[in-house]
Amino acid sequence: MSMQEQSAAAATTRTQSPDVVVVGAGTAGCYAAATVAREGYDVVVLDRKSETEAGHIACGDALKGADAFPEAIPKSKLEPAFTNTGVDHGRFEIPQEDTVLEIPVPGELAVIDRWEYGRRIIEGAGDVGVDFHYDTVVTNVVQADDGRVTGVEAIRAGDPITYEADIVIDAAGSLSVLQDNVDFSGSTFDTNVNYTHFCSAYREIVHVEEPVEWDDALVFKPTERAAGYLWYFPRTETEINAGLGFQMTEEPMELVDDLKRDLENRPEFAGATVEDKLGAALPTRRPYDSAVHPGYMAVGDAAGHVNPTTGGGIAGAAYAGKYAAEQAVEALETNDYGEDTFWRYNERVMDHYGARYAALDVYNILSTAVDVDDLMGLLAAMPGDKLAEALYSGSTNIGLKLKLEALLKSRGHWGTIWNLYQTKRRADELLSHYEDYPSSPAGLADWQGRRDELMGKVYETTGADPKY
């Protein structure tokens, strides 16, 4: 492009100047935008999809903890998207052991129509004054000479547009393209992010002719490799979210074919029809060590805010949006957009769920290094309530009692049991360290150094290749 053409293009580029720009109209983005807008500030949400397609996101459709969601978008707004509120446990099918493990799930649990839910959170944010710009693809991030992010460049409905803003909130999802364009050298923002830290997933919405027997359960089934699993989540007794995922540390799976093969082998899916097909990537990693940079915060999947063992991320995303937005409001009120102002957001995420997710990632790491048959045999021997406690409580509690019970039931897997018990100790050490997350950016480097020492013990104990 010639200089004359560049000047002409610049002259036709429109500019808008809201207080806050949020990129992505998912859960984290909508809750962040609604929280800021409720305080009277001007917020624009940018989404690459059309207004009709917005909210249509590949998801397992399981929602836990909606009874305690942030108030910016009230639960009453979401409830029409709850299609099955009778789910109360997980059903873990273990073909290698010809058994089914029932795992109780504490707290409120529902299976939802994710697209309807997506539309409703957008509507809820709109109700409090959020402005949505659809058909808008962000192409670059604008930074000042001092490194502070001051906006984004985008193409909206085919035309260039620049959004100048005091704060940019990145809710653009896994492997966010915004992070490829920000120079983070002047901050502590976590750049130790690799595609192998993510899971590739695919799901279909399947209609069956007869009601399934397990309409009160979330069904999980391991693939032939330990790093992959299938799920069957009942939206209703005849509408099932059926999906498959694998960690990108492993050899790629033929997701569509592998799911089709399993569906064909399940009698309850005879004569079934498929309504919708979508694929996505999601984090199966620890939360970002820091998700803040001057003028910029990342939330939800864009910051690794997903339970790495279950893939659950809706509730975490909602609270990430709330916490980031509340720091954004403080920054707007004080006209201070530095890391120190935003840091409290990091602390609140780690205190609420980030520390537990980081500890649970240790078991994800273990799964890449153990024999799948040994692991399934071990799981078959475990009491379901103890597994539920490990996955959903505030600890990683797989203790001596569980070890002894498993030993008695599964004599052929003693080595794996001992490995798991030692791994549990490493996870507890890591959890304790994360609970001492630093109170300012100045303390992060020392904290990371000690964390990396603990991770070295994790790799030594599990025999897994280093993940980070």
User: CA dist 459 to 10, 348, 369, 376, 427, Å?
Assistant: 52, 28, 10, 21, 11
Query: pLDDT exceeding 90 applies to what percent of the chain?
Result: 73
Residue 7 binned pLDDT confidence (cut-offs 50, 70, 90): very low
CATH of the domain at 123: 3.50.50.60
Q: Which of 330, 352, 374 is the last residue of a domain?
A: 352
Exposed / middle / buried, residue 261 (Cβ in 10 Å: 0-12, 13-18, 19+): exposed
Reply yes or no on whether the pLDDT at 135 is more than 70.
yes
Reply yes or no on whether the pLDDT at 389 is more than 60.
no
* pLDDT given for residue 395 in this prediction: 46
Q: Whole domain around residue 310: which residue ranges?
A: 3-80+114-192+285-352
Helix, strand or coil, per DSSP, at residue 330: helix
Helix, strand or coil, per DSSP, at residue 72: coil
Q: Which of 299, 328, 352 is the last residue of a domain?
A: 352
**Total Cβ atoms within 10 A of residue 260:** 15
Structural domain count of the chain:
3
Asked whether residue 279 falls in the same domain as residue 289, the answer is no
The residue length of the chain stands at: 468
Residue 467 domain-assigned (yes or no): no
Q: Which of 322, 352, 382 is the last residue of a domain?
A: 352
What's the count of helices (H) and strands (E) in the chain, helices before strands?
Answer: 13, 20
Reply yes or no on whether the pLDDT at 416 is more than 70.
no
* pLDDT given for residue 3 in this prediction: 44
CATH of the domain at 236: 3.30.9.10
Asked whether residue 332 falls in the same domain as residue 380, the answer is no
> What is the arithmetic mean of pLDDT over 386-402?
51
Per 3-state DSSP, the chain is made up of helix, strand and coil in percentages (nearest 5) of: 40, 25, 35
* pLDDT given for residue 231 in this prediction: 96
Write down the pTM of the prediction: 0.90
